[in-house]
Structure 1
Amino acid sequence: MHKHYIIHKPYGYLSQFRSGERLAHKKKYLGDLYDVPEGTMAIGRLDEPSEGLLLLTTNGLVSEQIRSNKVEKEY
């Protein structure tokens, strides 16, 4: 069963959950704030110096459909 999430990405965080180089770069990742299941992906990205709504899913097909040009988006 797939899961979908809506979260707030705060200013100063990367739209990633984990990084092997985390300690070397001292970056902040969404994985530091949210405990999401393995295989969860962000639908789109927000830059580090921005904040806002971020959609997450474990369903690659849903991710592809939303990121396609067929779905209208407003930024």
Structure 2
Amino acid sequence: MLNSIMENNLFFLTYSNIKEDANKKSRLLGNIILITTVVLCVIDIILLEVLSTILSKTHIFSNISKVFIN
């Protein structure tokens, strides 16, 4: 009887440790995904600004924009 109770307690302790470890890993993975998304968005914005600046300085793009504006 005592052995059975100890085995059950050990099972629940092991299960709760595994569950807690999985929750920590899940939160870590979520944080990594969030940080990666933010970094990629910032890089995208910077690249769009650089591309916009380059295209606005080129002669071809300025002529095309004049046609669309007029």
TM-score (norm 1): 0.19
Rg (Cα) greater in structure? 2
Q: In proportion to residue count, which structure has more strand?
A: 1
Give the TM-score normalised by the residue count of structure 2.
0.20
Structure with the bigger RCO (C-alpha within 8 Å, sep 6+) is 1
| Larger fraction in helix | 2
